Structure 1
Amino acid sequence: MIEEKDRFKHKLDFLFKAIDDAQNTIRFADTKAGAVIAFWSLVITALIRTKESWYSWLISINTWIDKIVVYIILILMIYFCVQSVWLAYLTIVPKSNPDAHIDKDGVDVQGLFYLHAMKPTLKGKYLYHNYSDLKLAITTKEYLCKLDGLSDADIHKELAFELQKVSFIRNLKIHRVNIAITAVIRFLITLFILFVYWFGHQFIQFKGDNELFHLEVNGKLFIVLYIAHKIGDYLFQTDKQARLKSEEWGPLLKHCLVYTLIVIGVAYLYTGLFNWTAVMIIFFTHVFLDKRSFLLWWGKYVKRVKESDIPHMQSAMLELDQAFHYIVLFIVSLIY
């Protein structure tokens, strides 16, 4: 059995170690906050020195959409800068009375470890000169009197309270400095985006009226085919066909035949299109896609869907199926 004195000593060592560790972390957080402030000093200095170049480039932007993009990026950069500087400043500025943020839950502590109260309050003229009437709120006699009256349990309370205070300060500083550093990273990302935008605007220009692929798309036909696709694939597809078409040929062929008749019929009524090649393209591609073998292969190896049958993946597979149907309709609109 550990004797009472040894147990008391172990508790003291534990509390002192925890307090020391928290204080070291606080110092490190202050160092990081100082580095953040130094970084922004360099950035602001660089921006001031190059302000004429920045101003000239901003003036040279002509189109309103370009101005909106650039100004949004600049607003984000300013926001990240202000956020980072303010949080770094709050990290460095000491918290003079952290005990106000500790829930003592009825435990009576006297706060003898860290003496922060001043008499009179440290403000006004006392900030700028060492006046002799500025003193600690507790006198030496009062402190010694309270110290002599402490039992072993009271000492544990005082140290535990001190640990809570430095832990509160540590947590506050770490959280603030981490967000300040994150804001620096976000600023650099937005700055890089702005640089890429500026570089492309200055040095990479594609001029001319030639299209990379000169294709004539029959927009009216595509819209008609799209509406007809919705009618044939949703309104006139039975539940049995929807469930069994990927497994049995009968429901699949019936659905694809009805679908093709509807699509070609609507296209003929509204655009005058009737072409046997178009009929074959629409029918056989629909059979190919609704058989689902190709879709499952694409989902597994291209879209990287591990389990296509689980509920939250079925909607993704449905969208994949519809995407390929739309591509077929687009190709038909290009041809005709």
Structure 2
Amino acid sequence: MKSAEISKAVELLAKGQVVGMPTETVYGLAARIDLPAGIEAIFKTKERPFFDPLIVHVSELSQLQNVTAGFPEVAKALADKFWPGPLTMVLPKNAKLNSMITSGLDSVGVRMPAHPVALDLIRAVGVPLAAPSANKFGKTSPTSAAHVRQEFQKENVFVLEGGDSQIGIESTVLLVKENGGKNTLSVLRKGHVLRSDIEKYLSSQGIAFEFVETVDKKESPGHMKHHYMPPVPLILCLDPKKSLEDLKKLIQSKMSELPDKIEEVAIVKPKGEIHNIAIMKLSEDPLLATRSFYAQLRDLAAQKPDCILLYKEVAHSGERWESLYDRVNKAASLIV
């Protein structure tokens, strides 16, 4: 990355503006955590409700002292293994951290991205950056600089070029709690780092832990039932043998029953009769399928079909696929 580009981004961030930042997961819309104007600019630019918390990105572990109220041993172990990388840990927040970042919660999500441009930018700024995905609220996440520029044409957001995102979906979000020497963990959002990866590593280090299922996922970004939605309806069909003609009738009738909004996210519906259906095909390799999913959604939507149809294949099963289908289920207007 040219130093002039980084310097321009640093200058804009210092003015309380937002900048498009590449990461290995998806592109983020970054602002300094110490400038309220910048944090507000994230929510305003994304048209994001204030109840959806932001993830803080650091370049060095030493930066955590201004973000979290502590860093328990289990978190240190996970950072040693998975940072820099696509694992966000939700920890008790530092009392001085702006509550807009955490949506008023007592916890904060933090990670160290594994992208050289993101790390160069955070180091050059000298403070951590809050950075949700660089898209309008509820819409498809961006995996290239071009996606961000297209999303924020009117806002004219400056974007650092970092190539295509290598992972293609947002980070795993893990709630980490330590109480009386007991470590409890909860996956709030599935991602590239799997629960089995975490279990295997901590067990290999002799660290005792327990996974807890019943938690409030509002501590994680992207917790709503609908998210990542393209501008035309995405339909997920759970029966790969169902004919297109049968589906057309079913989709048309089911769509009319949908509400206009769910949890502040507008549900995308067809504008009339369904005739033109674009079929989405995923790679048989879950890593390749995940990497290309958002870009495929954007490309197919740009063709302006009446809807996009994805058949869930029998082979799309197992823990690695679950992270991708978490996004598919939320991006879909309808599941049949």
TM-score tier (shorter): under 0.3
Which one has the bigger helix percentage?
A: 1
TM-score by length of 1: 0.16
TM-score by length of 2: 0.16
> Which structure has the bigger radius of gyration?
1
Which one has the bigger strand percentage?
A: 2
